[in-house]
Structure 1
């Protein structure tokens, strides 16, 4: 959520609610050093193959409905949620949906709404080409 956008304060509020979910999976890698520690502990045989992929435009390619489904599932399983907020799961999800799916930006005096994916900072070339005018 871009700074100074109307939904930025709400997004920051929701971040405090959902941020404890971050990294609570077996596949989460924090940084290169964390990856090196993980890979050193793996037993590799000659039949194994290590593959690396470059990720481009990751955020702008996230299917938002699926991402919201994952967040809802994780929040519903989070026993500490009630200690962070008195909001219901449905209320949290409505607000998250609004923040994620109400993304707009301005380019050359025209306003555009992002139609797919999650916004990522300043305008990217991908946003310029795949998003429709308001």
Structure 2
């Protein structure tokens, strides 16, 4: 249902320093890391993180990236306002299933 918004987001991702395009890239980066003995490593699972990201903050972050890098992003004829409306609709209707439980 929200496929057009996903396609719009992908070009934006290259402007986000923490973005990893897929699990393979993430695992490769992990393999190359040397961790000192006094370092504590943490990870957060989808149930603890995803459902706790405030939608307004996420939308604000996307807005800032779109406005800052708009000349380098193909918006496929949409304005930033139109794209933000589509992304907002996706976030409001976003439900996924993980390990048998549904999350919104």
Deviations 1:6-46 (Å, cap 9, x if unpaired)? Answer: xx0xx111111111222543333442222222x24x8x5x7
- Quick check: which one's helix share is greater? 2
Q: Please report the TM-score for the alignment, with normalisation by the length of structure 2.
A: 0.69
Match of residue 21 from structure 1: 12
Match of residue 34 from structure 1: 29
- What displacement does 1:120 show? 2.3
Larger Rg over CA atoms: 1
Q: Distance in 2 between matches of 1:49 and 1:88?
A: 45
Of structures 1 and 2, the one with the larger relative CO (CA 8 A, separation 6+) is 2
Residue ranges of structure 2 left out of the alignment (5+ in a row)? none
> Quick check: 1:52 aligned with 2:42?
yes
Residue ranges of structure 1 left out of the alignment (5+ in a row)? 1-7, 104-117
Match of residue 110 from structure 1: none
Aligned length: 97
- What displacement does 1:56 show? 4.4
Please report the RMSD computed on the Cα atoms of aligned residues, expressed in angstroms.
2.8
**Maintained 8 Å contact 2:15/2:65:** no
Q: Please report the TM-score for the alignment, with normalisation by the length of structure 1.
A: 0.56
